[in-house]
Amino acid sequence: MINSNILFVDNSKVGIERAKKAFTTLGIENTLHFAENDVEAWDMLNGNHKISPVPKILLIDINQEGVNGIDLINKIRSHEDLKSILVFVITSIDNEKNRSEALNLNIAGYIHKPIDNDNIDFFSILYNYWNIIEYSSEKK
């Protein structure tokens, strides 16, 4: 995955700082964008603050208060230019209803956040995965 944008949707300041630190430590050069909720994320995907190029990967905690992640994933899956985004749900809360709904929306994975402060191994595994899969061609 060369020079791809990644959108991380999480309203936890600690979670965002840990992700930034892990990306820096691992030398991941992808551009990491952050949104605090689904409304802000949608604006970054299809609104006035659109990220270009469109992110290839979306990381979202659908169980955070104030984040309607299922709605966002539904919008992404029904949008012609966004439906190929790889969506990973990353959460620390067990919610069977949300897990089932997310899996039915063809997400790439439903993953539990690391409990400890060390996100390096967690993001390293994700990064290795992102680099071995093939992506669809960019639209011109």
Confirm whether 139 is domain-assigned.
no
Averaged pLDDT, 75-101: 91
Confirm whether 32 is domain-assigned.
yes
Confirm whether 127 is domain-assigned.
yes
Structural domain of residue 84, as residue ranges? 5-132
Confirm whether 138 is domain-assigned.
no
With 70 as the cut, is the pLDDT of residue 2 above it? Answer: no
pLDDT band for position 140 (50/70/90)? very low
From the number of C-beta atoms within 10 Å of its C-beta (0-12, 13-18, 19+), residue 36 rates as: middle
Rounded Cα distance, 131 and 60, in Å:
19
Confirm whether 11 is domain-assigned.
yes
With 90 as the cut, is the pLDDT of residue 119 above it? Answer: no
90 CB-side CA count, 13 A = 23
Confirm whether 137 is domain-assigned.
no
Identify the pLDDT of residue 135: 65
Confirm whether 87 is domain-assigned.
yes
Identify the pLDDT of residue 43: 96
Confirm whether 110 is domain-assigned.
yes
In the DSSP assignment, the letter for residue 114 is: P
Total number of domains in the chain: 1
What CATH number corresponds to the domain at position 97? 3.40.50.2300
